A = this chain, B = another copy of it.
Amino acid sequence: MKIVHTADWHLGKILNGKSLLEDQEYILKQFIEEMKEEQPEVIVIAGDLYDTSYPNKDAVKLLEQTIAELNLELNIPLIITNGNHDGKARLNYGAEWFSKSNLHIRTSLEDINNPIIINGVNFYTLPFATLAEIKDFLNDDEIQTYQQGITQLLNIITENLNSNEINILIGHLTVQGGIRSDSEREITIGTVEEVNERHFDNFDRVLLGHLHHPFSINSEYIHYSGSLLQYSFSEVNQSKGYRIINIEDNEVKGYFKKLEPKRELEIVTGDYEDVVQERLLVKNKDNYMQFRLSHMSHVTDPMSILKNIFPNTLSLINNEMNEQFNQFDVDNTMHQKSDFEIINEFYRYVTDQSLSDNQSKMITNVLEEIDKGEY
C-alpha cells in the first residue's frame, strides 16, 4: 500500500503583504501531476489546509479544485483533518457527501475511536482541538496541560487498538524536540503544548502536520511532511514536498519527495551598493527576497530601488542596526532584568535616547495590566 502524506498547505497565506496563492496554485499543479504518476492508495492531509478560519474565495476555490482533481478525476481516497489555522465548520462543510466518494474530512473528536479503513489499514484521526475543547470533550476539568489532554485522547484510541493490524495516526501537534519555524502559530498560549514521543508508540506510523520542516523530528515512526512551501524566512533553504509511505508485508517504509516551487524564499546579506550594482550573486532574481544590508543609511527609498531589480522583495533589514540587536540578543544578564528595563534598554539601543517620563508611565501601565491578566 502506498500512502502520500502532506500537510500545512496554508492556502490564502499572505507573507509580508504578498499573497502566495499563485505559488500555491503552481505547486499544487505539480503535486497533482506527481499523484498521477504515483497513484497512491490514499493521500493524507494533516491539517492547516487554509491559513485562516476565513479564507478568501480564491483560496477556497483552489482547495476545492485541487481535492476535486485528486479525488474525483484521479479517484484517490483522501483523508483530511483540521489544523490550528483551519475553521472546522468551513473545512467540514459537505463532508457527508464527500465521504461517499472516499474523501474523508475529520474535524471532530467524536470520531477518534472510529478509524477510516483503507485496504485493511486503520487510519485514526486526531484533529486539532484547543485545550478547552479537549477538556470539554473528555468532560474533565482537571486536565492542566495540552500533553495531559492529548495523552487521554490517545488512551481512548489505543485501548481498542488491534496490534495485529497496521494502525496509523494522523494528527496536528508538536512532538517534543521538534524543530520549529516562525510561521507555526502557537497552539496554546501559556501552557506547555508539546507532546512526548513515547505516547505514540502503539502506532505503526504517526503522520503529522504543524511543524513546517519535513525533518522536524528524528524518529523511526513519527513524521512531519513539512509545509507545501516556505512560509517564513526561518524556513529558507528548507526543501518542501511530501512523504511517501509504503507498506509491504507488514513492513512500513517511507521517504521524502521534493517539489520545485515557482519561487523560493531567499535571504541576501551584504553591502547595499554590491546588491544594487548586482555584484552579489543571488539564487533567483524572482525569489521572495529578504535583504539584510549595510551602508544604506544615505539612501532615501532603498526598498523601491531593490524592487526594481528584485520584483519580489518582501523585506529589508538594516544590517547595522541588526548587528546592534544581535549584540543585545546575547546579553547574558537579560534574565535578571525586569520587563521595563529590557524595553528601556532596547529603546536606547535603537534611538540612542532613554524613554521619556510619559513613555515610561505608559509602558509601566501596560505592564501592570498584563500582570493583572487584563491582556
Contacts and interface: CB of A to CB of B under 8 A. Distances in A.
Contacts of A57: 87, 89-90
A58 to B, nearest CB: 9
A270 to B, nearest CB: 45
A191 to B, nearest CB: 26
B94 A94 contact: yes
A182 to B, nearest CB: 30
How many protomers of this protein does the assembly include? 2
A96 interface: yes
Contact of A72 (B61, B97, B101): B97
A103 B93 contact: no
Contacts of A98: 94, 97
A198 to B, nearest CB: 38
A105 to B, nearest CB: 10
Contacts of A87: 57
Interface of A: 57, 60-61, 64, 68, 71-72, 87, 89-90, 93-94, 96-98, 100-101, 103
B72 A60 contact: no
**Shortest Cβ-Cβ A-B pairs, 10 listed:** A94-B94, A57-B89, A97-B97, A97-B98, A68-B96, A97-B101, A72-B96, A64-B93, A61-B89, A94-B97
Contacts of A93: 60, 64, 93-94
Contact of A103 (B60, B61, B64, B97): B97
A342 to B, nearest CB: 41
5 contacts: A57-B87, A64-B93, A93-B93, A94-B97, A100-B101
Contacts of A96: 68, 72
A74 to B, nearest CB: 13
Nearest to A94: B94
A64 B57 CA distance: 19
Contacts of A101: 97, 100
Contacts of A89: 57, 60-61
Contacts of A71: 97
A159 to B, nearest CB: 31
Contacts of A64: 93-94
A285 to B, nearest CB: 35
Tell which of A64, A71, A96, A103 has the most Cβ of chain B within 10 Å: A96
Contacts of A97: 68, 71-72, 94, 97-98, 100-101, 103
Contacts of A68: 96-97
A328 B60 CA distance: 51
A61 B93 CA distance: 8
